[in-house]
A and B are shown apart, each in its own frame.
Chain A
Amino acid sequence: MTHRILIVEDQADIRKLIRMTLEFGDFELHEAPDGESGLNLARAVRPHVMLLDVMMPGLLDGYQVCRHIKQDPQLRQIQVIMLTARGQAADVAAGEKAGADAYLVKPFSPLELIDRVEAMVTSAAST
């Protein structure tokens, strides 16, 4: 089965980076440039994994989107990987509190990213 991955990130270049990285895998890719449209797209597409940037303009930031996902019974099985340029202990803790399944600090290695995503969909599929 082709797993669906949703990329929610406001910086176009980084979206491109992630997209080009994941094209090496067998994924169906979706993108959103901010929190609100990301949440809507998540409801519409029901991705397996969501790559979620923390700092985004607009009404919802990454933590809030994550909380919405995890509190929604229909969406909470989505695996959320948070991406951020802030790596302080407080930020990681906030991510855990919001219910994120993983946390990547920018700049990240794209190959590490694809490995993580692969591992996630594999373990999700086996459960």
Chain B
Amino acid sequence: MSAFLLGLAFGVLGTAGAGLLWLLRREERAQQVAVASGEAFAAAISKAAPDAMFACRADGCVAWANEASASTFGRTPEELRGSPLTGLLPMFSSLTIADWMRSHGIRGRVVGMGTDGLRVDGTPFPCAVSASQCEVTGHDYAIFMVRDTSDSRWAEQELLLRERALESASDGITIASMEFPGQPVIYANPAFRRISGYDLDEVIGRNCRFLQGEDTSQVDLGEVRSAIREGRSTRVVLRNRRKDGSPFWNELRLSPVRRDDGRVTHYVGVQTDITERMAYEDMLQQRTERLNTIFDLSPDGFVAMDERDCITVVNSAFERMTGLAGAELIGQPRSHLDDCLAAISRGQEPLDAVGVADTLPAQEPQALSQRPYVGELIHLAAPGQRTLLRRVRHSRGAGHETVMYFRDITRELEVDRMKSEFLSMAAHELRTPMASIFGFTELLLRRSFDEPRRQDMLGTIHRQAGILINLVNELLDLARIEARRGADFHRRVQPLAPIIETTVAGILVHNDPRKVQARLPPQPVMVLVDESKLALALTNVLSNAYKYSAKDRDIHLELRQRERGGRAEVGVAVIDQGMGMTAEQRARLFERFFRADTSGNIPGTGLGMTIVKEIVELLDGQVAVDSEFGQGTTVTLWFPVATQPASPLPGEGRTDDAAVQLLTLT
């Protein structure tokens, strides 16, 4: 545009100059009219011109200046007249006009040279200077036209800035021209070269598809083609290849550039190498999969909620525990979960109310710092009678997630209760004989009694002390067996008969001369047992037979045989004809401290059968009890046979898995 104006201005100037010369020549012929019209014309032009125009004498001073010079240089034409050129165009302080014309001019004309002009206050401003020489009234003049280029310079700077921005962007930027065949790339910034590995000259002029390498059939390429065809923006992820052949994931964003009439002239493409990001996303995906698997395999229930307290995840353990369906909970607010839980529970209490803390696994440091909150106990009524421990944890991360953790502690609570109950009972059982011992001894010490009474009291003390001793021994036995869980059992494969014989021979019951009638087969039966523990169990069983049957009733012992679960078993059966048990007593037989007879007539701790059961089960066996109230009791201790027993006697056959065979002496 400026060239046009400049051309126009020069045309005008040329015309004005020509007009001046023509006026001067015609002066003699038609002075007044010619001069008048020429001067008026020139005056009009110089007044109206937007650029500064001034004439400079050979001595470097301004001879004449137009109106626009005032606004350009900040001085009136009158002030300009006679002022030095160097005050307007400082470049001439080191350069004469003549030299300047020679070096920059063509045939006496300089067009649009960029330099700085000076305003009246001394501030420089960018300008474009054009000049030519002429002669007026015998003197040489240089005619100058100065255009203030501050605005266009500013526009130039802006453009430069934008170009620098493109050059320094970290994403690859390309511009392709849509107006040339093949839509060649006309610009590619350094980042593009870095991402693709290609040099500038290998990119300019080519269509971007060279990045596809061999992969020309990707789905997203179709989208790119459609977008270009439709002249719209798009975003795709392509698998591209660098110059060295290595693949990378290219996130490509295309935007069209339109002319005023809507026609797309260029496409700007922004390329981002997202290979690393994809790798991270893969890793994240894998991590999530893994967590989900762990989550789902966990036996404890988990429910997670997002920052709006909406349920996001429910694992299968939670569904099993509560009978609630995860699919119905996801997306629901927490209040819905609370309602569902309330509907199936019979109560809730904070954890500290129950001393369960000891049975829980060691707390992590964060949990400790969160005290006093430890959790709640939720007592379920459905789908079964269960107690769940719930803990709620709020994540401190940006996600503001909440995770609820549920653990079924029904069994732990039960064990806890049983332990507590056992201790109470044990305390009671121990204190009862102590009450007699302590009480009677105190009376004996502090009061006088006659001899018969003294003897009676001493007898009581002695008897109760004996009970206490038994009790302490059995408690210790039981505690030890339970604590060690049979770890200190010395199991050996050995014949059963000698153990039985030794035990039977060693039985000594106070005031009871009966002997156990034992019938054992001649063939050895091998079992894998700890003989001292087996002896203890058998002693307890025999002891009961003595205690609960009359002295005129025999006690029998025999071996039995059966098949259970695909293996051969041998049973040591102790048969008495004593008082027997009711169904209720039979059910509670193995309960700690349970006594069938609580009259005090029959001594006992109530722990004997408990110990028998513990020992037999730790030896991989089973206790079977058969009893009829008033008739008698048979207790059979079953053990797996270590080797094949002798062949069954003739006349006996197996009828089914649970058939019981009697081995009898022939």
**A38 CB to closest chain B CB, in angstroms?**
16
Q: CB < 8 Å: which of A12, A85, A107 contacts B600?
A: A12
CB contacts (< 8 Å) of B438 on chain A: these are 107-109
The verdict on A88 contacting B424 (CB below 8 Å), with A13-B436, A13-B460, A109-B442 known, is yes
Contact B598 A107 (CB under 8 A): no
**Given A12-B600, A16-B460, A21-B439: A107 and B431 within 8 A (CB)?**
yes
Q: How far is the CA of A109 from the CA of B453 in the complex (A)?
A: 19
B225 an interface residue at 8 Å Cβ cutoff? no
Give the nearest-CB partner of A16 in chain B.
B460
Task: Say whether A106 contacts B435, CB under 8 Å.
Answer: yes
Could you tell me the distance between the alpha carbons of A15 and B356 in the complex, rounded to whole angstroms? 39
Q: Known contacts A85-B427, A111-B446: does B440 contact A17 (CB below 8 Å)? A: yes
Range of interface residues on chain A? Answer: 20 to 34
A110 close to B443 (CB less than 8 A): yes
Complex: A91 Cα to B427 Cα, angstroms? 13
Q: Does B264 contact A (CB under 8 A)?
A: no
When A20-B443, A20-B457, A85-B435 are in contact, do A13 and B600 touch as well, CB less than 8 Å? yes
User: Size class of B's contact patch?
Assistant: 20 to 34
State which of A13, A55, A88, A109 has its C-beta within 8 Å of the C-beta of B464. Answer: A13
Which B residues, 434 to 472, have Cβ-Cβ distances below 8 Å to chain A? 434-440, 442-443, 446-447, 453, 457, 460, 463-464
At the interface, is chain A mostly helix, strand, loop or mixed?
loop
Closest Cβ of chain A to B522, distance in Å, is 48
Closest B residue to A58 using CB positions: B598
Pairwise interchain contact B435-A17, C-beta atoms closer than 8 A: yes
Q: Which of A66-89 contact B (CB under 8 A)?
A: 84-88
A11 beta carbon closer than 8 Å to chain B: yes
A24 adjacent to B435 (CB under 8 Å): no
Bound-complex Cα distance A14 to B460 (A): 10
A107 touches B435 (CB 8 A): yes
Verify B439–A86 contact, CB threshold 8 A. no
Chain A residues with CB under 8 Å of B440's CB are: 17
B286 at interface by CB-CB < 8 Å: no
| CB proximity of A88 to chain B, nearest CB, Å | 7
A114 nearest CB across to chain B (Å): 10
| A16 partner residues in chain B, CB cutoff 8 A | 460
**Alpha-carbon distance between A11 and B429 when the two chains are bound, in angstroms:** 11
Which of A14, A24, A55, A105 lies at the interface centre, i.e. has the most chain B CB atoms within 10 A of its CB? A14
Total number of A-B contacts with CB less than 8 angstroms?
66
Contacts of B431 in A (CB 8 A): 85, 105-107
A14's contact among B436, B447, B457, by CB below 8 Å, is which? B436
Contact B439 A24 (CB under 8 A): no
A10 at the interface (CB under 8 A from B): yes
Q: Given known contacts A11-B600, A20-B457, A57-B598, is B436 in contact with A86 (CB within 8 Å)?
A: no
Q: Mark A101-118, 1 if CB is under 8 A from B, else 0.
A: 000011111110000000
Instruction: Specify which of B430, B439, B457, B463 is in contact with A108 (CB 8 Å cutoff).
Output: B439
In the assembled complex, which residues on chain B have CB atoms less than 8 Å from the CB atom of A106? 431-432, 434-435
Q: Does B564 contact A (CB under 8 A)?
A: no
Nearest CB on B from A13, distance (A):
4
Q: Is the CB of A85 within 8 A of B432?
A: yes
CA distance A88 to B428 in the complex (A): 11
B436 CB contacts on chain A under 8 angstroms: 11, 13-14, 17
What separation, in Å, do the CA atoms of A24 and B453 have in the docked complex? 14
- Whether A86 touches B424, Cβ cut-off 8 Å, given contacts A106-B431, A106-B435, A107-B437, is yes
Residue of B nearest to A90 (CB): B424
Nearest Cβ on chain B to A35's Cβ, whole angstroms: 13
Q: In the docked arrangement, what's the CA distance between A87 and B424, Å?
A: 9
Question: CB-CB < 8 A to B447: which residues of A?
Answer: 24
User: Residue among A13, A24, A87, A88 with the most chain B CB within 10 A?
Assistant: A13
Q: Which of B428, B437, B442, B598 contacts A111 (CB 8 A)?
A: B442
- Contacts A106-B431, A108-B435 given; does A10 touch B446 at CB 8 Å: no
Nearest-Cβ distance from residue B426 to partner chain A, whole angstroms: 10
Report which residue of B434, B443, B463 has the largest number of chain A beta carbons within 10 angstroms of its beta carbon. Answer: B443
Closest chain A residue to B420 by CB distance? A88
Q: Are B442 and A11 in contact (CB under 8 A)?
A: no
Which residues of chain A are within 8 angstroms of B424 by Cβ–Cβ distance?
86, 88
Bound complex: CA A101 to CA B463 (Å): 33
A17 touches B439 (CB 8 A): yes
Contact residues in A for B442 (Cβ distance below 8 Å): 109-111
From 1 to 53 in chain A, residues with beta carbon under 8 angstroms from any chain B beta carbon are: 10-14, 16-17, 20-21, 24
User: Please, how many angstroms separate the alpha-carbon atoms of A12 and B602 in the complex?
Assistant: 12
How far does the alpha carbon of A20 sit from the alpha carbon of B600 in the complex, in Å? 19
**Residues in chain A near residue B427, CB distance under 8 A:** 85-87
For A111, list chain B residues within 8 Å (CB).
Answer: 442-443, 446
* Cα A12 to Cα B459 with chains together (Å): 14
Question: Could you say which residues of chain A place their CB within 8 Å of the CB of B463?
Answer: 13
Contacts of A21 in B (CB 8 A): 439, 443
Q: Which residues of B contact A110 (CB under 8 A)?
A: 439, 442-443
Complex: A86 Cα to B447 Cα, angstroms: 28
Considering the chains assembled together, what is the distance between the CA atoms of A13 and B438 in angstroms?
12
Contact: B434 with A107, CB < 8 Å? yes
B438 to chain A, nearest CB (A): 4
Shortest B455–chain A CB gap in Å is 13
B contact residues around A86 at 8 Å (CB): 424, 427-428
Interfacial chain B residues near A108, Cβ < 8 Å: 435, 438-439
Min CB–CB distance A51 → chain B (angstroms): 12
Q: In the assembly, what is the distance between CA of A109 and CA of B600, in Å?
A: 22
Nearest-neighbor residue (CB-CB) of B601 within chain A: A12
Q: Are A55 and B428 in contact (CB under 8 A)?
A: yes
- Determine the distance from Cα of A111 to Cα of B440 in the docked complex, in whole angstroms: 11
Q: Which residue of A lies closest to B446 (CB)?
A: A111
Q: Which B residues between 389 and 438 are near A, CB-CB below 8 angstroms?
A: 424, 427-432, 434-438
Using known A-B contacts A13-B600, A16-B460, determine if residue A107 contacts B439 with beta carbons closer than 8 Å: yes
Contacting residues, chain B, for A84 (C-beta < 8 A)? 428
Query: Given the complex, which residues of A lie within 8 Å of B429, measured CB to CB?
Result: 85
- The answer to whether A11 touches B432, judged by C-beta atoms less than 8 angstroms apart, is yes
Residues from chain B with Cβ under 8 Å of A12 in the complex: 600
Give the docked Cα–Cα distance between A63 and B37 (Å).
139
Can you list 8 A-B pairs, Cβ within 8 angstroms, ordered by A?
A12-B600, A17-B435, A20-B457, A21-B443, A85-B432, A88-B424, A107-B431, A107-B439
Report the 10 A-B pairs with minimum CB-CB distance, sorted nearest first: A85-B431, A107-B438, A106-B435, A85-B428, A107-B435, A17-B439, A107-B434, A13-B436, A110-B439, A106-B431
B residues sitting closer than 8 Å to A (CB atoms) are 424, 427-432, 434-440, 442-443, 446-447, 453, 457, 460, 463-464, 598, 600
* Contacts A21-B443, A106-B432, A107-B438 supplied; 13 other A-B pairs, CB < 8 Å: A11-B435, A16-B460, A17-B435, A20-B443, A20-B457, A55-B428, A57-B598, A85-B431, A87-B427, A88-B424, A105-B431, A107-B435, A110-B442
